[in-house]
Amino acid sequence: MVEKGARHLIFFSRSAGTVTSEDPYIKELAARGCSVQTFSGSVSNLSDVKSVVSSAAKPIAGVLQASMVLSVSNTFLQLFNTLLTWTFSLGRCVG
């Protein structure tokens, strides 16, 4: 977004409030001419969202939602273990 001209960014997440202006990523954005605001909260909590919108230094022109859930199952772990075993075995035969 910065490469396309965004200069005023808001980061809104459960952990955003712990990020300081000394954070390397925030410093990089500042060096590129960006102002950054960070807010702690949840997009699933309407009062948190309203608070961020009312506290924004500039009008909000766009939103990027990028949440994720990380879940590791036994099937994934078995597949990963098999891949490691196969890679290790193949490396010893070929190498």
**Which 3-state string (H, E, C) describes the chain?**
CHHHCCCEEEEEECCHHHCCCCCHHHHHHHHCCCEEEEEECCCCCHHHHHHHHHHCCCCCCCCCCCCCCCCCCHHHHHHHHHHHHHHHHHHHHHC
Residue 8 has pLDDT above 90, yes or no: yes
Residue 1 is which amino acid?
M
Tokens of 83: 């891949």
The pTM of this model reads 0.65
User: Span 31-59, mean pLDDT?
Assistant: 91
Strands 8-13 and 35-40: parallel
Residue 92 has pLDDT above 70, yes or no: no
pLDDT at 66: 75
Residue 72 has pLDDT above 80, yes or no: no
pLDDT at 93: 47
Residue 84 is which amino acid?
L
